[in-house]
């Protein structure tokens, strides 16, 4: 009888191991990963086609639920708890302020799902995942073709008159920049060097930003390229100038907006370079937003659609905050800002352990550029910002000799 129990137990263990292996083989399939990424990186153009939009949304929900179950099954790690907390705060704030929950879900579901996918694959098959990410490059080529074929815009949306496959001018770069980042990181992991193809993708991005006349996009990519060149020749400088120091200066800028009146000579200098009117518009918006934030500092106002934000700011041209940190304070107040800073410093702490490794430098450069962009942008519709945070948290595993299948990446 005892032998029967032993045989049954052994059989169960064998079957469980087989199921475990089959699950891992399925999850680590490059074809499956590529398909998931192509769905979650939904081009804004597909929002305008109702049938395609509904199909993408349904599949996205299925992916989200599946990977949420996988994440909980593997282990409810601190990064998963952070993700749930961050998006949960926005959800609760929106609910408390009687906001449009469906609009919130549609706006954030792709970002949340993509974060979960990054988090899960960061634990089980990060290198395979990054390599499969090349499938998303297809969208970059299609976007460039639409820009060349329709210089006046592929379609009109409710807010903008000139939109292409990857959306409007400035929001486009928020989608393209993380793709560049992951393309470079993948090549460093796979080939231990930056390849010609990486520079080709970078050039396509610059051309796309230039053709759609996105000053923000061109400047952002040029800053990214400058930081890249600097990292090749002076990699140690990133021990001083990195995402953490840029964030500190950013927060100081926000503190100045809250508590200090900008001197008149600053406006005089801006007038000389022809930027006074542009800055005055932003400055007026920021002051209105700060006044509203002070009315509800703790929990904010929740998610606001473009037309709702126009009423919120009482400015017809302002459909968002035009500032990343101020937008966070609107979404969830100080509570959400604390959650954001926690995730940011978890990522930064992970990167700082391997500060001179080229892959970590690439991620750091990308985050710095997002912060620079964030001074004048709300980072709405940016599904790749927080997944880059997750990538930064997990990248160190590839350097850790204690980690199974670890790979030491070269410095420049």
- Give residue limits of the domains in the chain: 36-398
Determine what percent of the chain is predicted with pLDDT higher than 70: 85
Check pLDDT > 80 for residue 132. yes
324-378: per-residue pLDDT in tens? 999 999 999 999 999 999 999 999 999 988 887 888 999 999 999 999 888 887 6
Q: Say what angle helices 324-352 and 243-259 make with each other, to 10 degrees.
A: 150
Token pair for residue 28? Answer: 């680590």
pLDDT given at position 58: 94
Per-residue confidence at 245, pLDDT binned at 50, 70, 90?
very high
Of 125 and 248, the structure prediction assigns the larger pLDDT to 248
């Amino acid at each position: 009888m005892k032998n029967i129990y032993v045989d049954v137990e052994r059989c169960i263990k064998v079957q469980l191991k087989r199921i475990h292996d089959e699950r891992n083989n399925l999850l680590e399939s490059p074809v499956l990963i590529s398909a998931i990424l192509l769905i979650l990186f939904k081009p804004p153009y597909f929002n305008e086609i109702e049938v395609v939009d509904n199909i993408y949304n349904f599949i996205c929900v299925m992916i989200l639920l599946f990977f949420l179950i996988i994440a909980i099954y593997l282990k409810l790690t601190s990064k998963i708890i952070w993700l749930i907390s961050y998006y949960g705060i926005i959800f609760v704030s929106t609910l408390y302020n009687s906001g449009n929950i469906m609009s919130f879900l549609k706006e954030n579901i792709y970002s949340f799902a993509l974060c979960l996918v990054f988090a899960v694959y960061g634990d089980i098959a990060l290198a395979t995942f990054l390599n499969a990410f090349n499938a998303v490059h297809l969208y970059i080529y299609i976007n460039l073709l639409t820009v060349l074929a329709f210089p006046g815009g592929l379609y009109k949306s409710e807010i903008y008159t000139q939109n292409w496959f990857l959306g409007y001018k400035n929001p486009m770069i928020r989608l393209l920049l993380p793709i560049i980042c992951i393309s470079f990181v993948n090549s460093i992991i796979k080939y231990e060097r930056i390849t010609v193809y990486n520079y080709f993708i970078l050039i396509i991005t610059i051309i796309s930003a230039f053709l759609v006349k996105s000053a923000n996009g061109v400047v952002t990519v040029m800053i990214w390229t400058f930081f890249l060149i600097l990292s090749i020749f002076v990699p140690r400088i990133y021990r001083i100038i990195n995402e953490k120091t840029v964030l500190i200066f950013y927060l100081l800028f926000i503190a100045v907006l809250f508590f200090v009146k900008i001197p008149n000579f600053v406006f005089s200098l801006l007038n000389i370079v022809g930027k006074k009117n542009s800055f005055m518009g932003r400055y007026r918006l920021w002051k209105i937003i700060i006044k509203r934030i002070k009315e509800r500092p703790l929990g904010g106002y929740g998610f606001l659609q473009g037309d709702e934000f126009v009423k919120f700011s009482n400015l017809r041209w302002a459909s968002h905050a035009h500032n990343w940190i101020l937008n966070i304070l609107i979404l969830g107040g100080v509570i959400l800002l604390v959650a954001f800073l926690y995730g940011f410093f978890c990522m930064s702490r992970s990167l700082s352990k391997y500060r001179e490794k080229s892959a970590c430098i690439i991620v750091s450069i990308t985050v710095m550029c997002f912060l620079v962009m964030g001074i004048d942008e709300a980072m709405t519709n940016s599904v790749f910002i927080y997944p880059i945070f997750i990538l930064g948290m997990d990248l160190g595993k590839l350097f850790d000799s204690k980690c199974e299948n670890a790979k030491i990446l070269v410095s420049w």
